[in-house]
A and B are shown apart, each in its own frame.
Chain A
Amino acid sequence: MPNARVLRDIKARNVVKASEVLRRAYLYVARNETLSPQVRHQAQLQLNTFGKYTRPTTVKNRCAESGRGRGIISEFALCRYQFRLKALKLELPGVRKASW
């Protein structure tokens, strides 16, 4: 069972993907200076009604093993310590200790 924060992040990602097009459309109307202020304001109010998980800023890369929010290596979706543990156990394909 993944970490609670990871589950929340997965939920956020799914909601962002589902609402992205609609959000962009409203943003276009709200930021278009050639339209009348009333129309722009209405679009902005509509945008304000969207939930927090529709915003891409709520999405954060997290470690899939531990749920850590910092020190994430995106290619493996792991934090630096989990990456190290797995790499030394040779569980990551193509990863080996560097020496040159």
Chain B
Amino acid sequence: MAAAATAIRPMQLAALTRSRCSILQTAYNPTSARTGAKYLHARLCGPSMVKFYTPEANIAQIMRQWPELEMRNFAEEERLQDVEDKKKRGKGAPKKAKEKGNSCRASRRR
């Protein structure tokens, strides 16, 4: 082939790339400018992250969701009973301080 006839001009190449992109429906970016498209392209990683820990069975949750099952939370009942016993013995939780200076901890330090 004659060299002059086959010398391809850059404008022809650009036109070729543009038409190829329009046919194949890809993005036309001849200058390789950073468009931030990669942040939109990338797969979302949130759903797979949330699946890492298996959800634990929560008796309180089940009791709330299905009250008709009439389940009893023995651990919670025992805890409440312990709190009542402590109160009877006089070992219940101390009163909450209304002001910053009144708290037991502050007076102990002094």
Contact = CB atoms under 8 A, between A and B. Distances in A.
A77 interface: yes
A34 B32 CA distance: 11
Interface residues on B, range: 10 to 19
B39 interface: yes
A33 B50 contact: no
A17 interface: yes
A77 B36 contact: no
Contacts of B93: none
Contact of A77 (B37, B39, B50, B52): B52
A17 B46 contact: yes
Interface string B26-70: 000000011111011010111101101110100000000000000
Nearest to B55: A10
A77 B54 contact: yes
A20 B42 CA distance: 11
A46 interface: no
Interface residues on A, range: 20 to 34
Contacts of A9: 53
A20 B49 CA distance: 11
A56 B52 contact: no
B32 to A, nearest CB: 10
24 contacts: A2-B53, A10-B53, A13-B49, A14-B50, A16-B45, A17-B46, A17-B47, A17-B49, A20-B44, A20-B46, A24-B40, A28-B36, A28-B40, A30-B36, A31-B36, A32-B34, A32-B36, A34-B33, A56-B45, A59-B49, A61-B52, A64-B54, A74-B52, A77-B54
Interface of B: 33-37, 39-40, 42, 44-47, 49-50, 52-54, 56
